[in-house]
């Protein structure tokens, strides 16, 4: 395995912890800063806004810079944002620092995908991208439970400090192991956006948003579903969430392998079909604990099985603006998360059971599958090799 890909994985691990650990430490922050849970929830939204602003900002500021130099700047921003979050004296400072922490997220995935594609062996581009993304899955498997535990045992500030330290490790490894790659060809500022005139990238981004949005309709409420519907005790949740993280880890590697063997869009289409069936299965089997957990692992596996194939698809459809295109995948991912959490909550607000979150989710993933089927029909040259 190439050392440069390991360095990129350390960066995505830091970003994964920074993004997802908030779900576990939210009550601790609310108590410490004297704010309500809904108000503390804005800290999650601030990070997502940072992701959305960071992608186009990177194109404006760094599009002419060498790729390794951009990665070093982004990992430094991870350190800065999380260090300041750990030291934040009040809620509003923490809110600002969460926005800052989100700025490098989409940009790092964008530049990292380009670097992974360039250093990959022949015929193993998707696998190389999946190795970079594996850090995000490990964050969900081990990092988020660890951060949640430390927040409860010590303080939530220590959790952000650990993320900052991990960012420093990522900075060191990028400096040592990522080769000095030249900057992308300068197509001008307008040239960076020119690929958005075509249908291909929009279809890819729509499949990302719909697919992730559908799964997050359910996954945003997976903990109460496991407790109140499946009947698990609350003290089993940490282990169950780790199983969900294992599904993400395995799904990511499977997606990268088969995207190289077949084609990225075919893997996305099949994965979204499986996700649709799994969500429907959860609706009917949520009260059967073993089945609910098994389908949970399948569905979280689908969430990351499409990650590296979608990153490659957007690179294929954004030549001349690869940096922006690869970063926009993360914007679509986060928009899907936010949309899914909102739509999934509507049945609960109307007094329905938590299993009903899967129905709008299955509709979204089905639409995502239809969108990628349209892409395959419209661009058949990508569908066969």
> Looking at the predicted structure, is the pLDDT value of residue 60 above 90?
no
Mean pLDDT of 264-283: 96
Task: Say what the pLDDT of residue 381 is.
Answer: 56
Rounded CA separation 321/218 (Å): 34
Task: Say what the pLDDT of residue 385 is.
Answer: 41
The 10 Å Cβ neighbour count of residue 187 is 16
- Short-list 208, 209, 215, 206, CA closest to 300: 215
> Looking at the predicted structure, is the pLDDT value of residue 326 above 90?
no
Same CATH topology for 1-184 and 187-385: the answer is yes
> Looking at the predicted structure, is the pLDDT value of residue 100 above 90?
yes
Q: What is the CATH number of domain 187-385?
A: 1.20.1250.20
| In the chain, domain spans | 1-184, 187-385
Task: Say what the pLDDT of residue 384 is.
Answer: 45
pLDDT, tens digit, for every residue of 278-295? 999 999 999 999 999 999
Residues near 242 by Cβ (< 8 Å), separated by ≥ 6?
141, 142, 145
> Looking at the predicted structure, is the pLDDT value of residue 189 above 80?
no
Rounded CA separation 190/143 (Å): 40
Mean pLDDT of 295-314: 92
Q: How many helices (H) and strands (E) does the chain have?
A: 17, 0
Q: Name which of 21-25, 138-142, 302-306, 313-317 the model is least confident about.
A: 21-25
Mean pLDDT of 236-260: 89
Identify the band that residue 319 occupies on the pLDDT scale cut at 50, 70 and 90.
confident
CATH T-level topology, domain 1-184: Growth Hormone; Chain: A; (1.20.1250)
pLDDT, tens digit, for every residue of 121-162? 887 888 888 899 888 888 888 887 888 788 888 999 999 999
Task: Say what the pLDDT of residue 1 is.
Answer: 61
- The chain-wide mean pLDDT, for the chain, equals 88
126 φ/ψ angles, rounded to the nearest 5 degrees:
-65, -40
pLDDT, tens digit, for every residue of 80-95? 999 999 999 999 999 9
How large a percentage of the chain has pLDDT more than 90?
Answer: 48
Task: Say what the pLDDT of residue 12 is.
Answer: 93
Rounded CA separation 310/253 (Å): 14
252 compared with 41, residue with greater pLDDT: 252
């Amino acid at each position: 395995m190439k050392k440069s890909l390991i360095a990129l994985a350390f960066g995505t691990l830091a970003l994964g912890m920074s993004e997802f650990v908030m779900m576990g430490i939210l009550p601790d922050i609310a108590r410490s800063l004297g704010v309500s849970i809904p108000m503390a929830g804005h800290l999650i939204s601030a990070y997502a806004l940072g992701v959305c602003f960071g992608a186009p900002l990177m194109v404006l500021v760094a599009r002419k810079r060498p790729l390794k130099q951009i990665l070093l700047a982004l990992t430094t921003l991870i350190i800065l944002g999380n260090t300041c979050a750990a030291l934040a004296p009040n809620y509003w400072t923490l809110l600002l620092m969460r926005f800052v922490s989100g700025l490098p997220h989409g940009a790092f995935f964008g530049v990292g995908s380009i670097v992974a594609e360039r250093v990959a062996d022949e015929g193993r581009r998707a696998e190389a991208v999946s190795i970079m993304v594996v850090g995000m899955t490990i964050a969900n498997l081990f990092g988020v439970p660890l951060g949640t535990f430390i927040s409860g045992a010590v303080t939530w500030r220590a959790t952000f400090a650990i993320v900052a330290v991990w960012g420093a490790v990522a900075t060191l490894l990028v400096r040592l192991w990522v080769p000095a790659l030249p900057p992308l060809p300068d197509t001008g500022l307008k040239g960076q956006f020119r690929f958005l005139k075509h249908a291909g990238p929009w279809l890819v981004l729509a499949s990302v948003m719909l697919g992730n949005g559908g799964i997050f309709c359910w996954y945003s409420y997976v903990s109460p579903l496991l407790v109140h519907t499946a009947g698990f005790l609350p003290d089993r949740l940490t282990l169950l969430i780790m199983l969900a993280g294992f599904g993400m880890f395995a799904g990511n590697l499977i997606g990268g392998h088969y995207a190289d063997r077949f084609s990225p869009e075919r893997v996305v289409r099949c994965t979204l079909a499986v996700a649709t069936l799994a969500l429907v299965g959860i609706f009917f089997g949520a009260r059967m604990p073993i089945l609910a957990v098994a389908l949970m692992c399948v569905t979280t596996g689908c969430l990351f099985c499409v990650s590296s194939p979608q990153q490659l698809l957007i690179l294929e459809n954004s030549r001349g603006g690869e940096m922006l295109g690869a970063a926009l995948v993360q914007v679509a991912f986060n928009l899907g998360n936010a949309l899914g959490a909102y739509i999934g909550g509507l049945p609960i607000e109307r007094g329905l059971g938590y299993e009903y979150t899967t129905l709008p989710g299955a509709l979204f993933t089905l639409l995502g599958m239809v969108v990628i089927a349209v892409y395959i029909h419209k661009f058949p040259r990508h569908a066969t090799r």
